[in-house]
Amino acid sequence: MNLATHTHNTWCPGCGNFSILNAFKSVITSLIQNEEIPLENFVLVSGIGCHAKIVDYIALNSFYSLHGRAVPVATGITCAAPNTRVICFSGDGDAYGEGLEHLIFAAKRNVNITVIIHNNRVYGLTTGQYTPTSPFGFKGRSTPHGSCEKPLNPLELMLASGGTFLARGTSHGIDQLKNLFREAILHKGFSLVDVLQVCVTYCNLYEYYAPRIYELQNHDSSCFSKASAKIKEWDYNSDAPIALGVFYKEVKPVFGDLCGNRVSSKEQVNARIQDILEQAT
């Protein structure tokens, strides 16, 4: 299956985004070929940033939205067309900075969407400023003397907000990414995969991550407190082991279902308008 488009890829050579693109395409292809989800039911939504170019590179329905706004667009799509499978691509500046309120509310509502965060911990497209997940003291172009803010732990925030599927992967573990993406996409509810994606140009953390990452083993992802403990093990700042895998998974009613289906015929609507006018007389 060829999901390529006619446009040229403009990511830097060695960019972690390639792993995300390849893992994602491979998962989508298998979901389509195994007839789990039909091609036309996929809708991709992106914010703005290097990550967002991904929707130009995949021949699927897509909404290339605004900086920080992928999540509300995705929420609208899934409410209007509940049979679609909406996947948001977002960056750390995009989702954890500019559009953080939307992410918190989507988790709180358990909106039936998947959010994949290209978390490279730097603004790439605007050429190297600190983001909400950059380490303390990060020297970027807007913080030449070092950032004086500690980073957010986005997974901790998402867990507190009510997210029902929370996972972390890296752009150097493509097989694991495939598993995480597949599981996240098939999860009914709000799923988020925080991908530690390496930006080779402005924040190359490959050497930093390599010795610290490990895969979660025998972890009970249905237990909130165990998930919380594992999520807090590394705070995106201090030196600690960095767990990868599914931290938390829970089945809860989703926002679209709670909204209900409101299809009325033109005749029903007209009759109801007449009722309202009569009542108001």
**Residues of the shown chain interacting with other proteins in the complex, contacts defined by CB under 8 A:** 5-7, 39-41, 43, 45, 48, 53, 55-56, 59-66, 69, 72-81, 83-84, 101-102, 104-105, 259-260, 262-264, 266, 268-270, 272-273, 275-281
- Helical axes 100-109 vs 154-161, angle rounded to 10°: 40
Q: How far apart are CA 20 and CA 194, in angstroms?
A: 11
CB of 52 to other proteins, least distance (A): 9
What is the closest distance, in whole angstroms, from the C-beta atom of residue 55 to other proteins in the complex?
A: 7
Q: Output the smallest distance, CB 137 to other proteins, in A.
A: 32
Is residue 43 within 8 A of residue 77, CB to CB? The reply is yes
Kindly tell me which of 101 and 149 has the beta carbon lying closer to other proteins.
101
Q: Among residues 123 and 130, whose Cβ is nearest to other proteins? A: 123
DSSP H helical ranges for the chain: 17-33, 70-80, 92-93, 100-109, 154-161, 174-186, 206-209, 224-233, 255-259, 266-279
User: In the numeric block, which tokens belong to residue 223?
Assistant: 């237990």
The pair of structure tokens assigned to 146 is 């070092």
CB 72, min distance to other proteins, A = 4
Across the strands, what pairs with 13?
A: none
User: Of 18 and 247, which has the nearer Cβ to other proteins?
Assistant: 18
**In the complex, minimum distance from the CB of residue 91 to other proteins, in angstroms, rounded to a whole number:** 15
Least separation in angstroms between CB 6 and other proteins: 7
Report yes or no: 68 and 99 within 8 Å, Cβ to Cβ: yes
The count of other CB atoms within 10 Å of the CB of residue 251 is 12
CB-wise, 45 or 177, nearer to other proteins?
Answer: 45
Cβ neighbours of 1 (radius 10 Å): 12
* Nearest to other proteins of 223, 259 (CB atom): 259
User: Beta strands 165-170 and 242-249: pairing type?
Assistant: antiparallel
The C-alpha atoms of residue 253 and residue 256 are separated, in whole angstroms, by 9
Identity of the amino acid at 198: V
Is the CB of 124 or the CB of 140 nearer to other proteins? 124
- Smallest separation, CB 4 to other proteins (Å): 12
Residues in the chain: 281
Nearer CB in complex with other proteins: 60/246: 60
